[in-house]
Amino acid sequence: MLCSSALSWGKVLKRSCLQSQPDHASLFPAAPYSPAECCFDYVKGVLRLEILVGFYSTSKECFLPAIVFDTKKKAKICANPEEKWVKRAVRVLLKKKGLHAP
């Protein structure tokens, strides 16, 4: 199986194997163009700003675009970048770091 890190269920970073690859794919290294981290679902509900310490976007090569929030407890949480609360959280985190939202 061909495996890579993936964010699943909108909450947990874990190792995940690509389902589209046949079993014999384990004989080959991961393709250099494949994304290392993708989200397969978004968190349900709104996260409190107090628990967030950072964020990043998943690769454009991922099927589901996402913002991944880092929390104080070292969790990684997938969120829908189109949601208003996600956009606001990104602006607040950028402001805390002295940066401007694009």
Instruction: Report domain extents, the chain.
Output: 3-96
> What pLDDT does residue 35 have?
54
Closest residue by Cα to residue 79 from 4, 11, 2: 11
The domain 3-96: what is its CATH number?
A: 2.40.50.40
Closest residue by Cα to residue 4 from 32, 37, 31: 37
> What pLDDT does residue 96 have?
87
pLDDT, one tens digit per residue, over 43-86 is 999 999 999 999 999 988 888 999 999 999 999 999 999 999 99
Mean pLDDT of the region 12-30: 33
Whole-structure pTM value: 0.66
**H or E stretch covering 95:** helix 84-96
Alpha-carbon distance values, 49 to 43, 52, 97 (Å): 14, 5, 14
**C-beta of residue 81 within 8 angstroms of C-beta of residue 61:** no
Averaged pLDDT of the chain: 73
